[in-house]
């Protein structure tokens, strides 16, 4: 079996286990995935807005610069009250 095929099968096993753990918590895996997708999209839009406010083109930023924006957005969210 090729290394790629082995990694593919292992990744599938990890996803299968994760879904079963989520189910054991009484949570719908689909609902959890939708919620986290919404969170990611919200954070990503905020990252783009922060870059624009700094006069930077988000797409041209390095991964390190994008990560710094991601961490800034997360820190900002933690500072807000629900």
**pLDDT tens, position by position, 28-71:** 999 999 999 999 999 999 999 999 999 999 999 999 999 999 99
Q: Is 19 exposed, middle or buried (0-12, 13-18, 19+ CB in 10 A)?
A: middle
Instruction: Give the number of domains in the chain.
Output: 1
Least confident among 20-24, 51-55, 76-80: 76-80
What residues make up the domain containing 10? 3-79
Q: At a CB cut-off of 8 Å and minimum separation 6, what does 56 contact?
A: 65
State if pTM tops 0.85: no
Q: At a CB cut-off of 8 Å and minimum separation 6, what does 55 contact?
A: none
Angle at the Cα of 15 from the Cα atoms of 3 and 73, rounded to 5 degrees: 105
Rounded Cα–Cα distance for residues 49 and 55 (Å) = 10
């Amino acid at each position: 079996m090729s290394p790629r095929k082995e990694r593919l099968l292992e990744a599938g096993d990890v996803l299968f286990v994760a879904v079963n753990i989520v189910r054991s918590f009484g949570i719908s895996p689909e609902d959890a995935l939708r919620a986290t997708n919404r969170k990611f999209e919200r954070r990503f839009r905020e990252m783009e807005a922060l870059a624009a406010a700094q006069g930077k083109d988000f797409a041209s930023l390095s991964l390190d610069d994008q990560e710094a924006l991601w961490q800034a957005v997360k820190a900002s969210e933690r500072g807000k009250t629900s």
